[in-house]
Every structure is written in C-alpha cells, then in structure tokens.
A and B are shown apart, each in its own frame.
Chain A
Amino acid sequence: MKSLRYTLKLCVPVMASYIFVGLAYGMMMNKAGYSPLWTFFSSTFIYAGSMQIVLISLLAAGTPLYTIAIMTLFINARHIFYGIGFVEEFKKIGGWRYPLMALTMTDETYSVLCSAQYPEGMDRHKIMLYVQVFCYLLWILASTSGALLGEVLRFNMEGIEFTATAFFVTVVVSQWQTAESHLPAITGLLSAVLFFFLFGADKFILPALSVSVVVLIIHKDRIMIKREALENV
C-alpha cells in the first residue's frame, strides 16, 4: 500500500499529459471513423502515443504495411536509448516482470524512473514495476475514454485533429530548449520541406527521414564534439 501511494506520487507530473493526450487521441480516432475498440487495441498493443497518432493518418491514406513498419522503426527509434539505462536493473528483476517492464517503457515513464528517489525500506523494483503498469493502464483508460466520449459528444469536433500537430510542436519546442546541438532539428526541417516540394504531400516522409539519418551520420563528429565541449564546461 505504501509503495502504491509512493508510485502515484512519482507519476503525478506525467499523469496530466497521459490523460490529456490519451483523451485527445481517442477523440481523433473516433472522428476518423474508428470504433472505440480499435482505440483500445491500438493503445494496448502499440502503447506509443506519437506512433498511434501518426497511424491515424497512415490508416486513412491506406499506407502500405511495409511503410507503416519502417515509419514505426523511425518514430520509435528513441526507445532503444531508453532501454540501455535499465538493462542491468530490470535483468535483476527477472521472470515475467522483466519483459513487461522492458516493453512498457515510454518517454514519460523513462523520465519518472530516471528521476525517482527510492526511500529506505521501500522495494525499488516493486515501485518501478508499479510505475510501468500504472502508466500503461492509465494510457489505455484515457484513450478508450476519449473514444467513448467522442461517441456521445454532440459537439461539432471539427478541428480536434489539430491536437496532434500541437502535441508534436510542444515536443519540438521542449527538445529545442534542451538540445546540445540544433543540427538534428534543422536537418529534419530542411529535408522535410525539400522533399515535400519535390515529391508532394503523400510521398515525402520516408525520403525526409532517410536523408536525415544519412546527414546526421555524416555530421556525427561535429555533433559529438559539440556535446563533449558542452559537457566539459
């Protein structure tokens, strides 16, 4: 009971974003014509907000499955990074909890687990497990509620899809404020705009992502040097 209360306290900072983005995602799915059951499946099996939001428009456009596969890899590539810090810790937990905790790591739970202090006498592994499971269930609950709410709301929801754009803009701004180098963001923007005008609205995203990867690999040394210089300050 004590660990559960402590988990809730740890999760407070991310709860608002989970509930709000989850509700908005459910409403967007509803407006796109998908039943609440699809929202439930998507949140339960994918459990990655950005990808789920992008998937709405990919589905609407009838995007080929291989493109969906590649885009998921790109959009969720950052998760590779999150896992690294917790391999040793989670391995000690073992059993069925180990894969569960590895597969329910998100941007939000990563930030919670990284910053968490574990008081004496509390089982830290238990709290970590609770954080992962609590956030997972909250996301499923919030998004499914949003989808159900969309069914009953009589209000004209036209324009609610802008929530997705707004969400990504906030992520871009926060990353910009904390980034050591702005080169990755600028590379992404320039390649997106370039291929948008070259190939058009429906075909620009994969070339833009691929070229960004190549450009960032070429400039690896420059970005790394800048990072080291900052770390030495």
Chain B
Amino acid sequence: MSETIYTAAAIGIAAIMTYLVRGLPYMMFGGKKGLPTIVLYLGSVLPPAIMIILVVYCLRSIELSVSPYGLPEIISVALVAILQFWRKNLFLSIFMGTACYMILIRTVFA
C-alpha cells in the first residue's frame, strides 16, 4: 500500500469511528430508547484510565536502562504535573514543560 493511500485510509477510518461515537447517543435515543447503563458507566470512567495509558504511550520509547535513563522526560513530566496541580493553567503547563524538555535535550543531556 502506498504511503499516501495508507495515510488517507487511516485518517478516514479515524474520522468514521469518531462520527460513530459522537453520533451513537443521537441514534440510540432516536428510537426513544436509552443507552444501556454499562455504556453510560464506561463513558464516564474510561477517560481517566485512557488518558494515563496515553501518557505511557507517549513515553514508550524512552530507555530506562541506558543513559540518560529517561531523565529529560521524567523531569519535564514532573514539571508539567506540578504546574498543572498548582496553577491549573493548560497553556503555562504545556509551554513550560515542552520548553524544559527542549532545553534539557540540548544542554544537560545533549
């Protein structure tokens, strides 16, 4: 499969699946029937589980046993978490964390 077709197909599939989850409640309620309790339950408890899995996914390529032992990532993630806990400002947390990471990999851990 060519690169272009693969990228287009992947975006198309992600789009269709997104329409599906966004449209589901409207389709189900269209027939005057409610969604099953289990779907409602999962819709409310899955997000925190998924988001933390995505953090691990983002960090999957760091090598903990080889220098610099993932330290640039660990330090920057800690900075983001502390800032977000303390100031609750999305822009500040992401900007400072990314800046910290970009500086660390260029200087201390270059």
Contacts and interface: CB of A to CB of B under 8 A. Distances in A.
A122 interface: no
Range of interface residues on chain A?
Answer: 35 or more
Contacts of A205: 53, 57
A158 B24 contact: no
A175 B88 CA distance: 11
A189 interface: yes
Q: Is the interface of B mostly helix, strand, loop or mixed?
A: helix
A158 B102 contact: yes
Given A47-B18, A74-B46, A55 B11 contact: yes
Contacts of B68: none
Contact of B41 (A51, A105, A167, A220): A220
Interface in B1-29: 6-15, 17-26, 29
Interface stretch (A113-121, A144-152, A180-188): A180-188
A168 B55 contact: yes
B51 A72 contact: no
Given A55-B14, A90-B26, A191-B53, A217 B42 contact: yes
B108 interface: no
A187 B18 contact: no
Interface string B50-76: 111111111111000000000001001
Nearest to B41: A220
B85 A74 contact: no
Given A160-B98, A165-B77, A84 B35 contact: yes
A99 B20 CA distance: 12
Interface of B: 6-15, 17-26, 29, 35, 38-61, 73, 76-77, 80-81, 84-85, 88, 90-91, 93-95, 97-98, 101-102, 105-106
Given A77-B46, A80-B35, A185-B49, 9 more contacts: A45-B15, A87-B29, A88-B29, A102-B23, A165-B59, A168-B51, A169-B77, A212-B50, A213-B46
